[in-house]
């Protein structure tokens, strides 16, 4: 396996582990997150930040995952 392929697989694995850890942490601290979110004022930002972080990490993982597998979107010629 060449160096570029190894780096791509490594990044995919790291992002996958990061995504799994985020899901576990959200599950583990579910009640705490809900309690803070229900306090009102600026605490409504907590779920928004969590959603943004999930979107960034899981989206990057998904993109790397399909690239490693060699799946590309079909390009449409006009």
Structure pTM?
0.80
- What is the C-alpha separation between 56 and 38, in angstroms, rounded? 25
For residue range 3-58, list pLDDT tens digits in order.
888 999 999 999 999 999 999 999 999 999 999 989 989 998 999 999 999 999 99
Contact 60, 14 (CB under 8 A): no
CA distance 60 to 23: 15
Please name which of 35, 59, 58 lies closest in space to residue 47, comparing C-alpha atoms. 35
H or E segment to which residue 75 belongs: none
Residue with tokens 């960034």: 56
């Amino acid at each position: 396996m060449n160096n570029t392929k190894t780096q791509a697989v490594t990044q995919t694995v790291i992002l996958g582990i990061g995504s799994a850890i985020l899901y576990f942490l959200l599950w583990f601290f579910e009640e705490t997150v809900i309690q803070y979110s229900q306090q009102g004022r600026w605490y409504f930002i907590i779920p928004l930040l969590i959603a943004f972080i999930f979107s960034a990490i899981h989206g990057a993982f998904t993109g790397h995952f399909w690239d490693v597998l060699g799946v590309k979107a079909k390009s449409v010629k006009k």
